[in-house]
Amino acid sequence: MGRERKMKRIMIICLVLAIFAAVVYFLMATRTITVPTLSSEDKPAAIVYAAAGCYALGGLLILAKKRGLWIFGLAMNTLVIAVFFMMYNQKPDVMFSLAGMATKIPQILLEVGLVSLIVNYRKTGKQVNQ
């Protein structure tokens, strides 16, 4: 498989992971997916809708082939994961809930994909690295 095809495949996988996370956040905001141990004050819908929108937009921006956007997305995704673990590290019922696992597994895989894109992509008119 050619280098360009590999990079395109990684970008598509990252897009799918980001869109999946966005859909789960949207389902959380509409209370279709819930974490029974959290009260409604612990999960303001506006923040969850914003997360859904950011992951959807971020996923689409992956296709722009801009290394700077990938680095920014990596930093923001890392921040989201870190905040989640800092807030809920003493609450395994939240961490291992459907909502927790359905967002964090794709986000961690997205981290791996973004690191791969950042490390292996150089733009000098064409994609040449890997």
Q: pLDDT by residue (tens digit) across 65-117?
A: 999 999 999 999 999 999 999 999 999 998 999 999 999 999 999 999 999 99
Q: Which domain holds residue 55?
A: 3-33+43-119
C-beta separation of 114 from 73 below 8 A = yes
pLDDT band at 39 (very low <50, low <70, confident <90, very high): low
pLDDT band at 129 (very low <50, low <70, confident <90, very high): very low
pLDDT band at 125 (very low <50, low <70, confident <90, very high): very low
- The answer to whether residue 79 sits within a structural domain is yes
- The answer to whether residue 21 sits within a structural domain is yes
C-beta separation of 34 from 75 below 8 A = no
* Entry pTM: 0.86
What is the count of structural domains for the chain? Answer: 1
Q: Who has greater pLDDT, 38 or 17?
A: 17
**Percent residues over pLDDT 90 in the chain:** 72
- The answer to whether residue 74 sits within a structural domain is yes
- Write down the pLDDT at residue 45: 77
- The answer to whether residue 61 sits within a structural domain is yes
C-alpha 52/C-alpha 33 separation (Å) is 13
- Say if residue 2's pLDDT is above 90: no
- The answer to whether residue 124 sits within a structural domain is no
- The answer to whether residue 125 sits within a structural domain is no
- The answer to whether residue 17 sits within a structural domain is yes
Of the listed ranges 17-31, 41-55, 71-85, 101-115, the one predicted with least confidence? 41-55
- The answer to whether residue 127 sits within a structural domain is no
- Say if residue 126's pLDDT is above 80: no
